[in-house]
Structure formats: C-alpha cells, structure tokens
Amino acid sequence: MLSGDHIRQSLSAALPIMLGYVAIGIPCGILCASIGLNALQVFLLSALFYSGAGQFMIPNMWLAGSPLASIVASVSLVNTRQMLYSAAFAPACKGVRKRLAFLFAATVTDESYGVNTARFEAGDWSVGRATLVNLFSQSSWALSNVAGVLVGNAIGVPLAIAAFAMTSIFVCLLVTQRPTPANLVAAAVAVAGVFACKAVGLGGPAILVGALAGVAAALAFTWVKERG
C-alpha cells in the first residue's frame, strides 16, 4: 500500500522528467495540431500510445507524405526498445500483482527507465512507487501535448521550430548509447540509408529503410567480429 510519503518520493523522482516533458511535449502538440488532430485526440494518443519519439514521427512523416504502412512500421520499430526496458524490470516485478506489473511495464519510457533503475539499484524502492513515477511523467507529457495543440492553434508557431524537437530526441537517444563499434556502424549505415533513399526520391520509406539497414549492418558486423 502506498503512503503519502511514497507518493511524495515518486513525485520528487519524476519531477525532472515532468519538466523535461513540458519542453518537448508542447512542440509535439503543435505538430499534431498541424495535421488536424484536436486536443482530445492528442490527449488520448498521449495517454494510450505514450511514445515521445513515435508521436513526433507520426505528424512529421504524415507531413512528408509517407504512406500509412511506412509510418506504422517506422513507429513500431522505434518503439521496440520499450520491450527491452520492460523485460529488464522483470526481476523487480516478482511477487507483484499482475495488473500492477502490467501497468508498470506499459508506462516505461527512456527517462523513467533511467530514474527507476537508479532507484532500484539504490534499494528501498518498489514497483508501486516506480509506477507512480511513470504515471506522473505520462500526465505531464499528455497535458503538455494538449497545451501544444492549444498554443499552436492560437499563435501559429512555425512547424520547422517544432519539428526540430523530434531531431533533438533522436540525437539524445544516439549520444546516450555506448560508443561501441556495432553502435557506430548502425548509426553510420542508418544515416547513409536515409540519405540514399532521399537522393533517389524515396522520401516516404527513408526512415524505415535507414533504420533497418543500420540494424542489419550492426548485426552483420557483430556476427563477423565474433566469428573472426
């Protein structure tokens, strides 16, 4: 059972994430408004889908004219890392009620994963408090997206400014990876794949093709290295 002190601990742990989500949630809401989504639709998307990178990708790829299948595939590929985050917390969820474990796993993000991992390693942390960290963060994200829709409709923020937030997310995801040879190969091939697709006029599936090429190249590199 969570006490008032537990709630305060979770809020304190989540506060840096919540403030960061305000900064990137508002641009995301502006982009969503640019493709015709209203505040309720954006709130439901943020509450049910809850993927920062994915929610940035959807309007950006839509505005770029990407086919629906390419958007779905690209967003799904980007979000596969969430399964790894959830799996990493499996030992902590032993003996926890299934509904709570499901809610915890379903609301893990890059940022809350880092915060909760540090708290679990330090000890005296529970899945209940970790889930509250996730939910506090998600609430900030959803409300910031709604604020972005309202701001975008009211003052018309240039899309180029809002769209750069998506780029910044992927830059952050890249620089936080360990600089292993396989990761460097994946990044280089992915960038080359995107540029190659755009150079031949395949702008729609460029992100998906680049991502798949990067993953395939990294796997091939690792396989060759291990056999050598």
pLDDT value, residue 161: 60
Cα-to-chain-centroid distance, residue 60: 15
Could you give the CA distance from residue 68 to residue 71 in angstroms, rounded to a whole number?
5
pLDDT value, residue 170: 62
pLDDT value, residue 156: 63
pLDDT value, residue 163: 56
Domain boundaries defined on the chain:
4-176, 178-227
Query: Where do the H-state alpha helices sit in the chain?
Result: 4-34, 39-48, 52-63, 68-78, 81-88, 98-106, 110-122, 127-155, 159-175, 181-199, 206-227
Q: What is the pLDDT along the chain (228 residues), one digit of tens a residue?
A: 567 788 888 999 898 888 888 888 888 888 888 888 899 999 998 988 888 778 888 887 787 777 888 788 878 877 777 888 888 888 888 888 999 989 988 888 878 888 888 888 888 888 899 999 999 999 999 999 999 999 877 776 565 665 565 566 566 666 666 778 888 888 899 889 888 988 888 766 676 678 778 888 988 988 888 886
Integer angstrom CA distances of residue 224 from 131, 170, 183, 193: 41, 28, 15, 21
pLDDT value, residue 2: 64
Between helices 206-227 and 68-78, what is the axis angle to 10°? 40
pLDDT value, residue 208: 67
pLDDT value, residue 138: 92
Q: Phi/psi at 107 (nearest 5 deg)?
A: -115, 15
Q: What is the pTM of this model?
A: 0.70
Contact 212, 77 (CB under 8 A): yes
pLDDT value, residue 109: 85
- With 0-12 / 13-18 / 19 or more C-beta atoms within 10 angstroms meaning exposed / middle / buried, residue 117 is middle
Residue listed under structure tokens 């960061």: 20
Residues in the chain: 228
pLDDT value, residue 133: 92
